[in-house]
Chains A and B, each alone.
Chain A
């Protein structure tokens, strides 16, 4: 019940936030939060660290961007198709990678994502180094003008809430129960008759599709799809967001994305612009050394100690 109240408060905050803060910034924040939630589904609930999630973010972005520029589809359809494309790519990558564990899984996903990166670098439709610029936002359902930043923000908020709900539901579903069992004791799950790789594969596909959804909406927000989103830096950044916020907690990735994106935004503008990566690296080291369970994880511990 307490958690439900917290959610209500957070949603209300998100609804009124654009009247106090710049909506495009908030939309960016939500896109990354969704991306981190998708990633956390794999790392936090399956226990597999994917180092190739940028491929799905980027694929969603490019497909949606291309459709908006060339097909005349309405934005919601372009976003859905971008998501489906990322999910399909995830299904293929997942089939190839879930048989591996630990560092090998990370390496396979990284290698596949690099393959995708170079494909997009060379493919004519992406605009290569220049990226895909001037993507129109279009009109949602044919009548809501997304060039209005406020409208855009609320669309992103709706998408985010859907994605967050889906992750939450997946974790708390019969399927999620099996995922937990696999994470807890894989040989035992096998001995109970579960084909564990199939479960990991489905989780990976969902995670990839949601990362694609984040990328698709992000492209609409910035009217741009670029190589930054498929670069391995992006795969690393989402690991950072998730760890800072709290891996395996439902709100952790949201908080982590908030912290990292806000920092990047403010630091890169100021005098410390050149040191962004050093500062982030420093925070990462501190988190790994001192706050293993991330911001949300640590808060939960404090909460449990005092009220639990």
Chain B
């Protein structure tokens, strides 16, 4: 039945010295779904993500893409197969123009990326497609801007446009709305919804509101293993999930309060 799944992991395990970060995870991502990977801090979401994108090597287990074993492939190689990731910190090329950012992605299939003796004017014929992609994420007016000058939300949008340029079959998004203001969250969520047509998306996401709006299926991780799976209503009704989440949500708040108190002490000492 694996044909229905774009991505599958079998008994995936990742051990760091004396500590199992990912413990026997069997994940199945169905074709056409937006699949969310959630869980409290330290649950192993990012580790799973890095295993899937080959930035980490699993201790044991298998990763299948369209039924092919990609466990041993290199990160750049799976990108060429159609699995493209995003990063937690927005991954753009800051000192290239917005247009150039997208062109870097478009350029790969042109086959002249090693041609150091040719003028970069050959890249101009990619402009039309690049403009289309920028327009699709609402950045057409910023094409000539230096990327470093864009707002955070726009950088994220640019990153998505760049990823789309590769026409990936599977997009892996690492906390796409992290660190964003309210408006940007809505913007990016809409964008993800829009680009999900005709492709599969697996995302790690903290913002449960975004997850509830977007995800067709949710996998909850806790301490490196799958706690439960299902759609939002199933998962959110599960008392274990509530416990896992509320537990840390409360402790996070506690952390923040502690931090605040510490800062105040420092301020006082300075004053």
A residues within 8 Å of B by Cβ? 166, 169-170, 172-178, 180-181, 184-185, 187-196, 198-199, 202, 206
Contacts of B215 in A (CB 8 A): none
Contacts of B85 in A (CB 8 A): 191
Inter-chain residue pair count (beta carbon < 8 A): 100
Q: Among the listed stretches B63-71, B103-111, B246-254, which one makes contact with chain A, having 4 or more residues with CB under 8 Å of it?
A: B103-111
**Do B119 and A173 have beta carbons less than 8 Å apart?**
yes
**Do B104 and A196 have beta carbons less than 8 Å apart?**
no
Within 8 Å of chain A (Cβ to Cβ): is B123?
Answer: yes
**Do B87 and A188 have beta carbons less than 8 Å apart?**
yes
Minimal beta-carbon separation of B163 from chain A (angstroms): 8
Within 8 Å of chain A (Cβ to Cβ): is B222?
Answer: no
Contacts of B262 in A (CB 8 A): none
Cα–Cα, bound, A196→B93 (Å): 15
Contact of A174 among B92, B107, B166 (CB under 8 A): B107
Number of interface residues of B (CB under 8 A): 38
Contacts of B103 in A (CB 8 A): 177
**Do A173 and B79 have beta carbons less than 8 Å apart?**
no
Report the nearest A residue to B148, measured CB to CB. Answer: A184
Cα–Cα, bound, A181→B95 (Å): 9
Cα–Cα, bound, A53→B120 (Å): 28
A181-B93 in contact given A173-B118, A174-B123, A192-B166 (Cβ < 8 Å): yes
Contact of B120 among A173, A192, A195, A206 (CB under 8 A): A173
Within 8 A of A (CB), among B127-185: 162, 166
**Do B116 and A173 have beta carbons less than 8 Å apart?**
yes
Report the nearest A residue to B108, measured CB to CB. Answer: A193
Within 8 Å of chain A (Cβ to Cβ): is B122?
Answer: yes
Cα–Cα, bound, A189→B96 (Å): 13
Report the nearest B residue to A167, measured CB to CB. Answer: B116
Within 8 A of A (CB), among B23-48: none
Contact of B76 among A176, A190, A202, A206 (CB under 8 A): A190
**Do A173 and B117 have beta carbons less than 8 Å apart?**
yes
Minimal beta-carbon separation of A306 from chain B (angstroms): 20
Contacts of B240 in A (CB 8 A): none
